[in-house]
Amino acid sequence: MNFYNIKLSLKSLLKNRVVSAINIGGLALGISISLLIFAFVDKEESMDKHIAKSDNIFVLENDQDSYVSSKMVELIRMNIPEIKHITYAQNEWSPQVFVEYNNKKIKIKHLIVTDSAFFRVLPMKALYGNPSTALTTSNKIVLTETLSKKIFGNENPIGKTITYNATNLQNELIVVGAVIKDLSHNSSFKFDAVLSEDTNNKIDWYVGNKNSWGTQNYISYFRIPTNGNINLINQKLKNIPLTDVEEDFKSNIKLSSLPLQDSYFEAPDIEIQRHGNHLTIVIIRITGILILLLACINYINLVSTQKIKRLRNIGILKVLGSKRRKIIQLISTESGLVLLITSALVITLLYFLTEGLNHLTQSLFTLAEILSGWNLVVFILILIVTLLITGIIPGIILSSNETTQLLKNKISINHKNYLRNILLVFQFTISIILLTSILFIKKQNNFLISKDPGFKRENIIYTTTNEEISNLGDAFQNEMKKIAGVEDITFSSSVIGYNESNWGRDLLNKTEQYNIWFSNFYVSPNFFKFFGIELVRGKQFNEYSPKAGDWIFNQTAIKKFRIEQLEDVKLLNWNGTKQEPIIAEVKDFNFESMHVPIRSVGFRCRNNVDEVAYFKLITTNGATFKQCLSAIQKKWTKLSPKFPLEIKFMNSSWEALYTKEKQFQKILNYAAAISILLSCLGLISLTFFIVETQTKEIGLRKVNGAKPYEIVQMLNKGFAKWVAIAFVIACPIAWYAMHKWLENFAYKTELSWWIFALAGLIALGIALLTVSFQSWRAATRNPVESLRYE
């Protein structure tokens, strides 16, 4: 009996192979895409939860800022015993870091510097050695598995020595203390190696910075015991004794904590971690749910439409004596067979689409990971519920109808199809919301990239320097300016858009002295002229500025620090022994991404070659541009053979600040395409249903002389109305979602009305094209076929 049912089911599927392909393909595609989306969302929401007892780990914050001084960490370590372990870390400031072993030189792209407690606060799986004790002394390093294999192959590197060469520290012999497993893709931390902070204590200026309360450049993490009370610790942080704190900094200390698991979404200023946007993730999750609903609804509609075409077959089976149980089995077997084929297709699609998801989201998903946990539960539930709705329940209903009604294709049908129309509105509401969101996100991304940040970035390349270049001083600039196509060169301590330096200093304003906090850049005298940054008042840096200790502040800083006349203020150095003048006010420009408003920033002049070198190029075409880059490369290799040249484009690095937004846009692009495709399938199913239920009417109209276009017009009547209703529902939902999303940016585009209108017109056009195709097929069919059973 089961074999017979399978045979009949296969015969039915092959007889209606086009519709069967639409059924199976649409459902499989919808399920596959939704499972991929759910896997990505789960990864984003589980960031750092793989770390042992991660709910006991917190980020130290000061006045809602994530950066603190190392002296503050030591103060907490001494005064709050309830904190089990506390550590501090930062990205290595050297622009270039290389290690050498057996005459093989390897670049470390992401290196963080930290104290010995880092892996006790943040335990990570060890491959070799013990990370928690590996950084207790100077000149120790912990490697990730991939970096270890690049340097040592498959050897156990514990105790082996490598030569460390960085911009700020050269020819140091570093011992490998441990190797950890590569960071998982649900880790927000991004590093290839971890260096013991004591190693950098050999750099004079580093020690000076570290010992200052005003150097707010470290991220601090702490761990509490399993039964620890974070509320008690927060209270102690709030009331920590400040006896040892310098008087000028006491008023700026407002300590609190943030759970590590929340830092991925809520602390975007932490540079040693990757970050996401929680609202974006919520939107993507909802999109996945809606795509899944669309796929299931379309499948159910198409299946139910096809069931109507088989009423006569069921009636014949009843005439031949088939029992009700057999009819239910037959219909359920066909649905089960379709779902079995769909399952195989889902697994196949996931196998091929997983690589695309990894490329799009910089993840490391496997097929087994996607089909596990809640995703597997969702997949099984979809199959069970779909089988119930499209197999068992229709079998029960159809088998209970009278045989005569079945033979005449006349069961109780509500020709107004309220439910189907509601589902149609639902489908196009989703499509219009997604289309509107895509257009707005694209407009915002274009706005961020094209908006003038207040400095010139066209035809500018940059690279990081090193000690060899710095020792050349002006000779380096003179040599580079000889290259045809190089118009000018300037330097700064960090790349515009990626500055991590935060300082605290005392400001003497007339007779009043108070502490100020600001971001800091060291720059060359020609920095502002090079980037076309306008001075509001005062004078540019000159050759005497480095010795005089001249400063230039932006408009935001001047306003925030209550500076009226530049001549009335002096900035005190670290120990208050020297007064440094503020010689100019520079117009505000975006030295960070436009996610955040412009902050206070101070620029200090330094004549020596600094860590980042910028080249302004004058080239007429691509060929001369390549020649210029090649000449820079050759000259660099001659001047700095130890450190290779790494050229980056200012435009590209600025656009890279908005990688997450571009990723979000791409995800919604694919989601909208799938949504529109599924909506079209929904229209096809509804058109099939209308054609099947109005076969007699179509035939009679054609016999009485109706033209094909009149039949099409009749069948299309009402579809525009349902899309219009979907548009009205979608607009406020899309407006609210995009309004909330734009709150993540300090600078944002307008929610233009034409985007809503364009999305509605696109949806309407797609709907009418889809329906008209099916309607035309019905209108051009021979009327004899429609009337021969009447």
Distance CA 582, CA 602 (A): 9
Task: Please tell me the predicted confidence (pLDDT) of residue 772.
Answer: 74
- 12 occurs within a structural domain: yes
- 212 occurs within a structural domain: yes
Distance CA 745, CA 738 (A): 12
| Phi and psi torsions of 58, nearest 5° | -135, 155
| Phi and psi torsions of 344, nearest 5° | -65, -40
3-state secondary structure 503-551: EEEEEEECCEEEEEEEEEEEECCCHHHHHCCCEEEECCCCCCHHHHCCE
Verify that 38 and 86 share a domain, yes or no.
no
Confidence of residue 789 (pLDDT cuts 50, 70, 90): very low
Residue tagged 């310098």 (tokens): 246
CB-based contacts of 393, cutoff 8 Å, min separation 6? none
Task: Please tell me the predicted confidence (pLDDT) of residue 556.
Answer: 94
* CB burial readout 548-585, b (16+ within 10 A) else e: eebbbbbeebbeebebeebeebbbbebeeeeebbbbbb
Q: Supply the DSSP symbol for 85.
A: E
Verify that 210 and 184 share a domain, yes or no.
yes
Please answer whether residues 361 and 276 qualify as being in contact, where contact means their C-beta atoms are separated by less than 8 angstroms.
Answer: no
Percent of the chain with pLDDT over 90: 32
Q: State the DSSP H helix or E strand holding residue 172, giving kind and residue range, or none if neither.
A: strand 172-180
Q: Which residue has the higher pLDDT, 557 or 685?
A: 557
Verify that 675 and 583 share a domain, yes or no.
no
- 190 occurs within a structural domain: yes
- The alpha-carbon radius of gyration of the chain (Å, integer) is 34
| Phi and psi torsions of 81, nearest 5° | -65, -15
Q: Which residue has the higher pLDDT, 463 or 711?
A: 463
Confidence of residue 310 (pLDDT cuts 50, 70, 90): low
> Is 158 buried (19+), middle (13-18) or exposed (0-12) by CB count in 10 A?
middle
Task: Please tell me the predicted confidence (pLDDT) of residue 260.
Answer: 94
* Average pLDDT for the chain: 83
pLDDT per residue over 404-417, tens digit each? 555 555 554 444 45
> Which long-range CB contacts under 8 A does 144-150 form with residues at least 24 apart?
144/179, 144/180, 144/181, 144/182, 144/183, 144/191, 144/192, 144/193, 145/179, 145/180, 145/181, 145/182, 146/182, 146/192, 147/106, 147/108, 147/192, 147/193, 148/176, 148/179, 150/106
- 538 occurs within a structural domain: yes
Verify that 216 and 77 share a domain, yes or no.
yes
Distance CA 172, CA 165 (A): 7
- Is the pLDDT reported for residue 703 higher than 80? no
Quick count: other Cβ atoms within 10 Å of Cβ 163? Answer: 14
- 260 occurs within a structural domain: no
Please answer whether residues 652 and 662 qualify as being in contact, where contact means their C-beta atoms are separated by less than 8 angstroms.
Answer: no
Instruction: Report the range of poorest mean pLDDT among 160-174, 282-296, 408-422, 435-449.
Output: 408-422
Residue 303 vs residues 19, 187, 392, 681: alpha-carbon distances, Å = 9, 44, 13, 12
Distance CA 722, CA 429 (A): 10
- Is the pLDDT reported for residue 119 higher than 90? yes
Verify that 225 and 366 share a domain, yes or no.
no
Cα–Cα nearest to 285, from 732, 728, 664: 664
- Is the pLDDT reported for residue 497 higher than 90? no
Task: Please tell me the predicted confidence (pLDDT) of residue 313.
Answer: 60
- 266 occurs within a structural domain: no
Cα–Cα nearest to 81, from 224, 247, 262, 266: 224
Q: Any bridge partners for residue 492, and if so which? A: 523, 612
Quick count: other Cβ atoms within 10 Å of Cβ 254? Answer: 12
Distance CA 475, CA 489 (A): 12
Sign of CA dihedral 255, 258, 263, 265: negative
Q: Which residue has the higher pLDDT, 468 or 561?
A: 561
- Is the pLDDT reported for residue 308 higher than 90? no
- Is the pLDDT reported for residue 284 higher than 50? yes
Instruction: Report the range of poorest mean pLDDT among 305-314, 682-691, 715-724.
Output: 305-314
Please answer whether residues 668 and 434 qualify as being in contact, where contact means their C-beta atoms are separated by less than 8 angstroms.
Answer: yes
CB-based contacts of 217, cutoff 8 Å, min separation 6? 67, 69, 90, 209, 500, 501, 502
Longest C-alpha distance within the chain, in Å? Answer: 108
Verify that 158 and 224 share a domain, yes or no.
yes
Task: Please tell me the predicted confidence (pLDDT) of residue 715.
Answer: 66
Last residue of a domain, one of 650, 681, 711: 650
Distance CA 249, CA 767 (A): 65
Q: State the DSSP H helix or E strand holding residue 601, giving kind and residue range, or none if neither.
A: strand 601-605
Distance CA 89, CA 355 (A): 34
Verify that 142 and 11 share a domain, yes or no.
no
pLDDT per residue over 714-741, tens digit each? 766 667 788 888 899 989 998 988 888 8
Cα–Cα nearest to 65, from 267, 223, 259: 267
Residue 445 token pair: 């991304």
Please answer whether residues 144 and 180 qualify as being in contact, where contact means their C-beta atoms are separated by less than 8 angstroms.
Answer: yes
Please answer whether residues 617 and 625 qualify as being in contact, where contact means their C-beta atoms are separated by less than 8 angstroms.
Answer: yes
Verify that 153 and 104 share a domain, yes or no.
yes
Distance CA 514, CA 571 (A): 10
- Is the pLDDT reported for residue 32 higher than 60? yes
For residue 98, give its domain range.
64-253
Q: Supply the DSSP symbol for 621.
A: S
pTM: 0.78
Verify that 633 and 762 share a domain, yes or no.
no
- 454 occurs within a structural domain: no
- Is the pLDDT reported for residue 430 higher than 50? yes
Distance CA 691, CA 680 (A): 16
The count of residues in the chain is 790
Query: What average pLDDT score do residues 540-549 get?
Result: 87
Q: % helix / strand / coil in the chain, to the nearest 5? A: 55, 15, 30
Reduced to 3 states (helix: H, G, I; strand: E, B; else coil), residue 494 is: coil
Task: Please tell me the predicted confidence (pLDDT) of residue 414.
Answer: 47
Q: How many domains does the chain divide into?
A: 3
Distance CA 103, CA 144 (A): 21
Residue 430 token pair: 């989703």
Verify that 430 and 561 share a domain, yes or no.
no
Q: Kindly give the interhelix angle for 753-779 and 659-693, rounded to the nearest 10 degrees.
A: 30
Confidence of residue 224 (pLDDT cuts 50, 70, 90): very high
- Is the pLDDT reported for residue 659 higher than 70? yes
Distance CA 733, CA 426 (A): 13
Confidence of residue 215 (pLDDT cuts 50, 70, 90): confident
Verify that 283 and 241 share a domain, yes or no.
no
pLDDT per residue over 363-383, tens digit each? 889 999 899 888 899 889 988
pLDDT per residue over 236-246, tens digit each? 999 988 887 77
Percent of the chain with pLDDT over 70: 83
Task: Please tell me the predicted confidence (pLDDT) of residue 413.
Answer: 47
Q: Any bridge partners for residue 495, and if so which? A: none
- 268 occurs within a structural domain: no
Verify that 83 and 133 share a domain, yes or no.
yes
Last residue of a domain, one of 650, 666, 695: 650
pLDDT per residue over 764-781, tens digit each? 887 777 777 666 766 666
Task: Please tell me the predicted confidence (pLDDT) of residue 503.
Answer: 79
Distance CA 746, CA 453 (A): 12
Residue tagged 């206070």 (tokens): 600
CB-based contacts of 185, cutoff 8 Å, min separation 6? 43, 362, 363, 364, 365
Last residue of a domain, one of 609, 629, 650: 650
Task: Please tell me the predicted confidence (pLDDT) of residue 346.
Answer: 93
Residue 235 token pair: 């209270």
pLDDT per residue over 451-479, tens digit each? 888 999 888 999 988 878 888 878 888 88
Q: Supply the DSSP symbol for 613.
A: E
Query: What average pLDDT score do residues 571-590 get?
Result: 87
Confidence of residue 216 (pLDDT cuts 50, 70, 90): confident
Task: Please tell me the predicted confidence (pLDDT) of residue 210.
Answer: 77
